[in-house]
């Protein structure tokens, strides 16, 4: 069994006793993943989390859900709940201590933890060790008043994997998923299970001749887009006042789903509003329009047609994706990717050994320069804050 650092071992004893005392009172299902206004979120895990920085889909989907959210990604390929990928040449600090330090450094209110991908290649003993290590890590973060969310591993895509034993590897990952779910249930941590959902996404992509993962393992851009959608579905539903859907009563001239903005003169069939929120990338607004006489109607934004349908179709609702919002979503993702690149350079510089490691006597005088990235990252956060806000929309309903 992989030994824990002494302080972590002590925390583990308390962590294991904690669920034993409370286990009978815990509900069968763990709480769903949720975020509150103003949460500072740190994302940690293995390659699934680290590689998400390149695309920005997951973070963009979470950013638009609540105002004031900030994110820091400290994912590390090959990492475990023991922080093994963060080991340095000298000890202490240990990899686990590095992991805890890097988790706590952004002063988060929430830690989203997504570990376990490497367990596909390990045995039952390694899973038992991972469960013990998870308890130690969660207890350490609880002592710092950090709310924790566990995310299940994602399966490998058996269709595109060159590994002939991919099905067996997925069985091990499913076992890890079940074990982590039990941890979340017993400790009352948030839980997001995307394992089966991503298997469905692989199947859907295959029928369309697409692939979501390189060599069946590493998600590509389309894979992270699907993961973002499925993660949101696994989360606690948003209240109605944060829905992206829009409802219009053509008879009464009323509109819901945001704040109405009428001009000095109301024009028939023209609706001006600021929606509740910006959709996450590839989320579609559902627009329903009631009170229309029979016929066919076209909804336009400027010179662009958004959707066309009968009065009945509009009454039931049609999907709408304004091009201006698609451009805004892309700009939001670009800002997130750039912010993550800057933070990566700060907390994990290429010459870390010379700046802050055991050879810092050579170049340690340059370490303070890392803090010079703070205002640049802060300004990028401000840009993200502006881009996440829904902008005014003007809809024109035209009878064909």
Positive or negative torsion for Cα 52, 46, 341, 145 = positive
- Res 356: pLDDT: 63
φ/ψ (deg, to 5) at 149? -125, 135
Which residues contact residue 190 at a Cβ distance below 8 angstroms, ignoring those fewer than 6 apart?
Answer: 30, 31, 32, 33, 34, 147, 148, 149, 150, 184
Question: What would the pLDDT profile of 39-59 be if each residue is shown by its tens digit?
Answer: 999 999 999 999 999 999 999
Which string of DSSP letters, residue by residue, matches 42-101? EEEESHHHHHHTTT-HHHHHHHTTSTT-EEEE---TT--TT-GGG--SSSSSPHHHHHHH
Average pLDDT over residues 140-145: 97
Eight-state DSSP code of residue 286 = E
CATH 3.90.180.10 fits 6-237, yes or no: no
- Res 181: pLDDT: 98
Question: What would the pLDDT profile of 242-252 be if each residue is shown by its tens digit?
Answer: 999 999 998 88
Does the structure show a pLDDT above 90 at 288?
yes
The domain segmentation of the chain, as residue ranges, is 6-237, 242-400
Residue where the block lists tokens 């988790």 = 103
Tally helices (H) and strands (E) across the chain: 13, 16
Confidence of residue 90 (pLDDT cuts 50, 70, 90): low
Of 374 and 194, more confident: 194
- Alpha carbon distance 162, 160 (integer Å): 6
Confidence of residue 13 (pLDDT cuts 50, 70, 90): very low
Tell me the CA distances in angstroms from 119 to 52, 131, 179, 384, one per residue in order. 20, 11, 12, 35
> Which strand (E) or helix (H) includes residue 312?
helix 311-316
- Res 332: pLDDT: 97
Confidence of residue 92 (pLDDT cuts 50, 70, 90): confident
- Res 2: pLDDT: 57
* Packed helices 6-22 and 166-187: angle between N→C axes, nearest 10 degrees: 70
In a 13 Å sphere around the CA of 72, the CA atoms on its Cβ side amount to 23
What is the arrangement of strands in the sheet containing 318-320, beginning at the earlier edge strand? 254-256, 246-249, 285-290, 318-320
Burial of 133 (0-12, 13-18, 19+ CB in 10 A): buried
- Res 49: pLDDT: 98
- Res 229: pLDDT: 96
């Amino acid at each position: 069994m992989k030994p824990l650092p002494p302080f972590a071992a002590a925390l583990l004893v308390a962590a294991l006793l904690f669920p034993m005392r409370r286990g009978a009172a815990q509900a069968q299902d763990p709480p769903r993943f949720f975020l509150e206004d103003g949460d500072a979120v740190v994302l940690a895990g293995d390659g699934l989390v680290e590689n998400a920085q390149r695309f920005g889909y997951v973070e963009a989907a979470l950013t638009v859900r609540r105002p004031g959210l900030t994110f820091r990604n400290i994912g590390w390929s090959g990492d475990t709940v023991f922080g093994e990928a963060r080991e340095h040449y000298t000890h202490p600090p240990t990899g686990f201590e590095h992991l805890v330090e890097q988790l706590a450094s952004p002063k988060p209110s929430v830690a989203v933890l997504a570990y376990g991908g490497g367990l596909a290649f390990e045995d039952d003993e390694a899973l038992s060790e991972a469960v013990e290590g998870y308890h130690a890590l969660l207890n350490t973060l609880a002592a710092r008043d950090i709310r924790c969310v566990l995310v299940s591993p994602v399966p490998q895509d058996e269709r595109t994997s060159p590994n002939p034993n991919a099905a067996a590897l997925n069985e091990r990952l499913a076992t890890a998923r079940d074990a982590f779910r039990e941890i979340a249930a017993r400790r009352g941590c948030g839980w997001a299970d995307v394992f089966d959902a991503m298997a469905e996404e692989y199947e859907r992509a295959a029928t369309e001749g697409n692939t979501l993962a390189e060599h069946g393992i590493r998600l590509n851009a389309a894979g992270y887009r699907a993961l973002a959608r499925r993660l949101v579905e696994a989360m606690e539903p948003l209240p109605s006042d944060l829905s992206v859907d829009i409802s219009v009563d053509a008879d009464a001239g009323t509109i819901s789903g945001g704040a109405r903005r009428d001009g000095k003169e109301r024009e028939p069939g023209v609706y001006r509003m600021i929606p509740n929120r910006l959709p996450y990338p590839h989320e579609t607004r559902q627009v329903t329009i009631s009170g229309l006489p029979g016929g066919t109607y076209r909804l336009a934004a400027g010179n662009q047609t958004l959707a066309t349908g009968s009065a009945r179709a509009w009454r039931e609702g049609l999907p709408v994706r304004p091009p201006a919002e698609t451009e805004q979503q892309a700009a939001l993702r670009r800002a997130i990717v750039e912010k993550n690149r800057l933070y990566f350079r700060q907390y994990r510089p290429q010459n870390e050994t010379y700046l802050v490691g055991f050879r810092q006597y050579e170049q340690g005088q340059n370490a303070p320069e890392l803090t010079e990235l703070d205002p640049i990252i802060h300004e990028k956060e401000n840009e993200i804050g502006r881009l996440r806000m829904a902008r005014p929309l003007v809809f024109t309903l035209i009878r064909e």
